[in-house]
Amino acid sequence: QEVKVNWATTPSSQKKDTSNHFHVFVGDLSPEITTEDIKAAFAPFGRISDARVVKDMATGKSKGYGFVSFFNKWDAENAIQQMGGQWLGGRQIRTNWATRKPPAPKSTYESNTKQLSYDDVVNQSSPSNCTVYCGGVTSGLTEQLMRQTFSPFGQIMEIRVFPDKGYSFVRFNSHESAAHAIVSVNGTTIEGHVVKCYWGKETPDMVSPVQQVRTSPLLQTMALLIRYGSAQIGQYVPNGWQVPAYGMYGQAWNQQGFNQTQSSAAWMGANYGVQPPQGQNG
């Protein structure tokens, strides 16, 4: 008689329970970094129970971060301290304690804490919005707590906490970092509270004058025309738009979008060339 073997039910292939292990967040990973790469990089620090690079389910590409789980807390602490800022591939990685997911929710609560998709979240708000709303921390809410929770996902520009209301706003330096933070922190526990994260409504006083014009070079130029008149606007040249420094700031674009500010003293009296982002040439 023919015997069928179902490998999925064999003990060796059952998923390991790592809920009581110590989990390290690894961020700023280069696109080519694999699960095997981060496992090899963190192996010298102790016994690893699990390691994975988080991938987009639709494209199969890395989302730029991952997790490494250790059996021993001391090994995880040592890895966080030693590996933060180290080069892996072409980038310096960031390490921190991973935010723990809460226990499996009740069915009535499940719909409110379903796993968010990065692609959905990143398209829910305009590319200029870098602000995350985090609510539900009804006790123990501090700026330090929010910084510790959200710093693994990118550079934080500003944090505003409202302890009496149990929520806060965290502004990152990029839309993508904010999206990663929303996806990763939403539905997790902070100080014993299950939190909700989504896009905050960015108000003018939370944005620097430069970020308020974080848009296409064409719209920047139109805004300057309205504000200063055409006499002060540089002419269009084949390799980019000529936009003068104004107020206290000049602007520079790179392929990722907004790059840096320059004081007017450095550029006073001269037009500052701005290369339009990819896809807007010609």
Q: What is the pLDDT of residues 176-233, one digit of tens each?
A: 999 989 988 988 888 888 899 999 876 555 554 444 444 445 555 555 454 444 444 4
Rounded CA separation 181/150 (Å): 6
CATH number at residue 169: 3.30.70.330
142 with 198, same domain: the answer is yes
Is residue 266's pLDDT more than 50? no
Is residue 22's pLDDT more than 50? yes
Is residue 264's pLDDT more than 70? no
194 with 129, same domain: the answer is yes
Quick check: helix, strand or coil at residue 7? helix
C-beta atoms surrounding 130 within 10 Å: 31
- DSSP E strands in 222-274: the ranges are 241-244, 250-254, 257-262, 271-274
128 with 92, same domain: the answer is no
Poorest-confidence range of 28-32, 34-38, 199-203?
199-203
Please give the average per-residue pLDDT across 103-118, as a whole number. Answer: 52
Give 52 or 119, the one with higher predicted confidence.
52
Rounded CA separation 244/230 (Å): 11
124 with 93, same domain: the answer is no
Give CA 192 to chain center in angstroms. Answer: 23
Is 232 inside any structural domain? no
The structure tokens 């991938």 sit at: 55
Instruction: Of 130, 153, 146, 148, give the one whose Cα is nearest residue 28.
Output: 153
Rounded CA separation 215/127 (Å): 9
Is 141 inside any structural domain? yes
163 with 200, same domain: the answer is yes
92 with 123, same domain: the answer is no
Rounded CA separation 16/77 (Å): 22
Rounded CA separation 23/97 (Å): 6
Say what the pLDDT of residue 205 is: 53
Please give the average per-residue pLDDT across 149-169, as a whole number. Answer: 92
Is residue 250's pLDDT more than 50? no
Is 234 inside any structural domain? no
Say what the pLDDT of residue 102 is: 44
Residue 187 DSSP class:
T
Query: Final residue of a domain: which of 172, 204, 236?
Result: 204
pLDDT band at residue 138, thresholds of 50, 70 and 90?
confident
Say what the pLDDT of residue 48 is: 93
Is 53 inside any structural domain? yes
76 with 148, same domain: the answer is no
Say what the pLDDT of residue 42 is: 96
Say what the pLDDT of residue 278 is: 46
Is residue 117's pLDDT more than 60? yes
Rounded CA separation 151/161 (Å): 15
Is residue 104's pLDDT more than 60? no
Structure-token pair, residue 53:
């690079």
Is residue 143's pLDDT more than 70? yes
Rounded CA separation 49/71 (Å): 6
Rounded CA separation 247/224 (Å): 11
Is 33 inside any structural domain? yes
89 with 138, same domain: the answer is no
Say what the pLDDT of residue 193 is: 86
Say what the pLDDT of residue 252 is: 38
**Vertex 18, ends 13 and 22: CA angle to 5°?**
145
Is 68 inside any structural domain? yes
Per the structure, how many domains does the chain have?
A: 2
Is residue 47's pLDDT more than 90? yes
Is 41 inside any structural domain? yes
Domain ranges, residue 142? 118-204
pTM of the model: 0.41
38 with 67, same domain: the answer is yes
154 with 92, same domain: the answer is no
Is 245 inside any structural domain? no
Backbone angles phi, psi at 228, to 5 degrees: -115, -15
137 with 179, same domain: the answer is yes
Which residue type does 99 have?
Answer: T
Say what the pLDDT of residue 3 is: 52
80 with 124, same domain: the answer is no
Give the torsion sign (CA, 142, 196, 202, 216).
positive
Average per-residue pLDDT in the chain? Answer: 71
Query: Final residue of a domain: which of 97, 129, 147?
Result: 97
Query: Final residue of a domain: which of 204, 225, 256?
Result: 204
